[in-house]
């Protein structure tokens, strides 16, 4: 479908508002799962690595299913997907309140809630990119702050609800709040193409030509029958001589000719329907092949391939702090008197600020968003390496704020992807990248938890996390160096909407 020119305003601002609240409601609890993580450790008595799977699945499974989420949004549209996903998130949270063991939480909280969040994220990002072009960075920054504000509020809210109503009551109330996603999803009006045909015409155009062949042949048989009958009646009226013998013979001849014609028509229908099914199967197979061919073409783009490795390593190393920072503070024996604000809340509010500021910076023409994204990766890697040296609440709070601000690079990642591959390939490319981001989200916290179970301290785990993020940043920086363009003699033709970093040509 070819969409209208993005209006960069109008109803687009309504889309921004409802997308903000959609991400606020769906990601609030999964991102603030660090508060629930401590309760689950005490309730089920499992190891840190095994318990960390709940939060990592909730934040990773939706990204792992990004290709499927992209297909759903492309096939059904953002509005139906958002409404359906709202039921999934609310239902999964409410089911989690009845969890008898940690394995039940893997399904209810990890898979059901996580998949619903993935569908909602893809729907909000896709429809926002359709409504905005010149202000896309600002729009994406605004909607992505919804999840960060949700993290900030839900961290304190869930802690308060646990104290008042217990863990089960907290999950029930949070699940009920998530039902407001249905109202937000209903306002996601699709942006149709300006020259789109009317629904009636579209339906007629989609009807196979073979159907009209069948209809015409059936009509021909009926017309032949009516002509024969009419001719016989006229002849009978003219002669005014009843001839029962001749009447019987004529009726038999007409019926026999009708029977033969119907059998021939039926056989032709069967043959043509079989051919139509074969052609349909070939068409679907060709679409499948085209999908993989387009995927191969995407990976021939040097910047896209580097983004693939960078996002995987970034999520393996960069996601665990938001899940485990509360337990890190408890392991460092920080007293309750020094604990002025939950560290997860600090991460959340600084992530919101980071998303907004980085999103605004991405709209300036003099800012290269690719290099800006690389800078955030390198700084985050250095901050992760500093966590083992933090032994006070103040130091952990400062590091939490830095990590939260740099995690705001999520707001410019769709922007970088769009400018690298073009708006036409955004859904395809973004789905692939989010799949591996989900893989990193799913593996990161359990790996850090296993490091703790093995060494009984977090130092080694965060050395590993910092190394992963730094490696991803350096790989992306290497792919972005302008010298690659001087070394290659090929002139790459980019799509009209594709922005060149002077490094985005095919390798």
Task: Tell me what the pLDDT averaged over the chain comes to.
Answer: 77
Q: If you ran DSSP here, which 8-state letter would residue 196 be given?
A: P
Q: Is there a contact between 140 and 126 (Cβ–Cβ < 8 Å)?
A: no
Q: What is the pLDDT of residues 235-282, one digit of tens each?
A: 444 444 455 445 555 555 555 555 656 666 766 676 677 777 777 777
| SS3 label, residue 187 | coil
Residues 423-447 have a mean pLDDT of 79
> Distance between CA 288 and CA 220 in Å, rounded?
40
Q: What is the pLDDT of residues 152-166, one digit of tens each?
A: 899 889 988 999 999
User: What is the structure's pLDDT at 104?
Assistant: 93
Residues 282-293 have a mean pLDDT of 73
> Distance between CA 94 and CA 113 in Å, rounded?
10
Q: Which of 24-38, 166-180, 450-464 has the highest mean pLDDT?
A: 166-180
User: What is the structure's pLDDT at 25?
Assistant: 93
Distance of CA 106 to the CA centre of its chain: 20
User: What is the structure's pLDDT at 399?
Assistant: 92
Q: Is there a contact between 155 and 32 (Cβ–Cβ < 8 Å)?
A: yes
> Distance between CA 331 and CA 461 in Å, rounded?
14
Residues 434-458 have a mean pLDDT of 83
Q: Which of 4-8, 15-19, 299-303, 332-336 has the highest mean pLDDT?
A: 15-19
The rounded percent of the chain whose pLDDT value lies above 70 is 76
72, 236, 292, 353, 472 from 422: Cα distances, Å? 20, 75, 18, 27, 23
Residues 428-454 have a mean pLDDT of 82
| Residue 416 structure tokens | 């970088």
| Residue 332 structure tokens | 């460092």
User: What is the structure's pLDDT at 22?
Assistant: 94
Residues 401-405 have a mean pLDDT of 91
Q: How confident is the model at residue 78 (pLDDT cuts 50, 70, 90)?
A: confident
Q: Which residues pair with 506 in a beta bridge?
A: 301
Answer with the residue of higher pLDDT: 53 or 355.
53
Does the pLDDT at position 196 exceed 70? no
User: What is the structure's pLDDT at 85?
Assistant: 93
Q: Which of 386, 380, 387 is nearest to 403 (CA)?
A: 380
Does the pLDDT at position 343 exceed 70? yes
Q: How confident is the model at residue 178 (pLDDT cuts 50, 70, 90)?
A: very high
| 113-117, 304-308, 339-343: range with lowest mean pLDDT | 339-343
Q: How confident is the model at residue 469 (pLDDT cuts 50, 70, 90)?
A: very high
| Residue 249 structure tokens | 């013979």
Q: How confident is the model at residue 502 (pLDDT cuts 50, 70, 90)?
A: very low
| SS3 label, residue 147 | helix
The rounded percent of the chain whose pLDDT value lies above 90 is 21
Q: What is the pLDDT of residues 473-489, one digit of tens each?
A: 999 888 877 766 655 54
User: What is the structure's pLDDT at 254?
Assistant: 52
Does the pLDDT at position 205 exceed 70? no
Q: How confident is the model at residue 213 (pLDDT cuts 50, 70, 90)?
A: very low
Q: How confident is the model at residue 212 (pLDDT cuts 50, 70, 90)?
A: very low
> Distance between CA 344 and CA 323 in Å, rounded?
8
Q: If you ran DSSP here, which 8-state letter would residue 352 be given?
A: H
Phi, psi of 506 (to 5 degrees): -70, 140
> Distance between CA 313 and CA 67 in Å, rounded?
19
Does the pLDDT at position 221 exceed 90? no
What is the secondary structure of 393-405 as a DSSP string? HHHHHHHHHHHHH
> Distance between CA 427 and CA 437 in Å, rounded?
15
User: What is the structure's pLDDT at 442?
Assistant: 83
> Distance between CA 116 and CA 71 in Å, rounded?
14
Does the pLDDT at position 419 exceed 70? yes
Measure the N-to-C terminal CA separation of the chain; round to a whole number of Å: 30
| Residue 240 structure tokens | 């005014």
Does the pLDDT at position 219 exceed 60? no
Does the pLDDT at position 204 exceed 60? no
CA dihedral of residues 175, 180, 186, 190 (deg, nearest 10): -80
Q: What is the pLDDT of residues 360-394, one digit of tens each?
A: 888 788 888 888 999 999 999 999 999 888 888 88
Does the pLDDT at position 93 exceed 60? yes
Residues 30-59 have a mean pLDDT of 86
Residues 120-149 have a mean pLDDT of 83
Q: If you ran DSSP here, which 8-state letter would residue 301 be given?
A: B
């Amino acid at each position: 479908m070819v969409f209208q020119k993005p209006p960069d305003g109008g109803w687009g601002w309504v889309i921004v508002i409802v997308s903000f609240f959609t991400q606020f409601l769906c990601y609030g609890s999964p991102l603030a799962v660090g508060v629930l993580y401590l309760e689950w450790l005490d309730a089920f008595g499992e190891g840190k690595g095994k318990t960390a799977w709940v939060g990592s699945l909730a934040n990773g499974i939706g990204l792992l299913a990004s290709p499927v989420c992209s297909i759903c949004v492309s096939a059904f549209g953002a509005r139906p997907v958002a409404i359906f996903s709202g039921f999934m998130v609310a239902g999964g949270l409410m089911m989690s309140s009845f969890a008898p063991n940690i394995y039940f939480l893997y399904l209810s909280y990890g898979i059901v809630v996580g998949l619903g969040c993935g569908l909602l994220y893809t729907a909000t990002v896709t429809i926002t990119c359709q409504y905005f072009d010149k202000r896309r960075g600002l729009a994406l920054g605004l909607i992505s702050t919804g999840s960060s504000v949700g993290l900030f509020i839900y961290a304190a809210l869930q802690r308060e609800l646990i104290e008042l109503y217990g863990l089960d009551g907290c999950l029930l109330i949070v699940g009920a709040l998530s039902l407001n996603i249905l109202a937000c999803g209903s306002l996601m009006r699709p942006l149709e193409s300006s020259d789109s045909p009317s629904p009636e015409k579209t339906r007629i155009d989609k009807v196979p030509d073979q159907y009209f062949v069948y209809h015409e042949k059936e009509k021909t048989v009926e017309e032949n029958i009516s002509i024969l009958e009419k001719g016989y009646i006229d002849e009978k009226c003219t002669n005014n001589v009843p001839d029962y013998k001749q009447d019987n013979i004529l009726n038999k001849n007409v019926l026999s000719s009708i029977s033969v014609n119907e059998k021939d028509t039926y056989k032709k229908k069967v043959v043509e329907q079989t051919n139509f099914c074969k052609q349909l199967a070939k068409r679907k197979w060709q679409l499948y092949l085209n999908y993989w061919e387009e995927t191969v073409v995407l990976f021939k783009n040097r910047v896209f391939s580097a983004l693939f490795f960078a996002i995987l390593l970034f999520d393996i190393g960069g996601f665990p702090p938001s899940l485990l920072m509360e337990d890190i503070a408890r392991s460092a024996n920080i007293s309750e008197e020094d604990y002025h604000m939950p560290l997860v809340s600090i991460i959340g509010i600084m992530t919101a600020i980071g998303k907004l500021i980085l999103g605004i910076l991405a709209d300036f023409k003099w800012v290269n968003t690719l290099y800006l994204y690389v800078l955030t990766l390198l700084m985050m890697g250095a901050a992760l390496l500093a966590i083992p040296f933090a032994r006070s609440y103040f130091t952990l709070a400062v590091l939490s704020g830095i990590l939260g601000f740099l995690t705001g690079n999520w707001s410019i990642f769709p922007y970088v992807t769009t400018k690298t591959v073009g708006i036409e390939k955004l859904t395809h490319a973004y789905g692939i990248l989010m799949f591996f981001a989900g893989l990193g989200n799913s593996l990161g916290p359990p790996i850090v938890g296993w490091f703790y179970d093995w060494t009984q301290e977090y130092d080694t785990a965060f050395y590993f996390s910092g190394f992963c993020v730094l490696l991803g940043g350096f790989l992306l920086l290497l792919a972005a160096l302008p010298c690659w363009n001087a070394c290659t003699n090929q002139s790459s033709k980019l799509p009209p909407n594709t922005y060149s970093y002077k490094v985005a040509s095919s390798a």
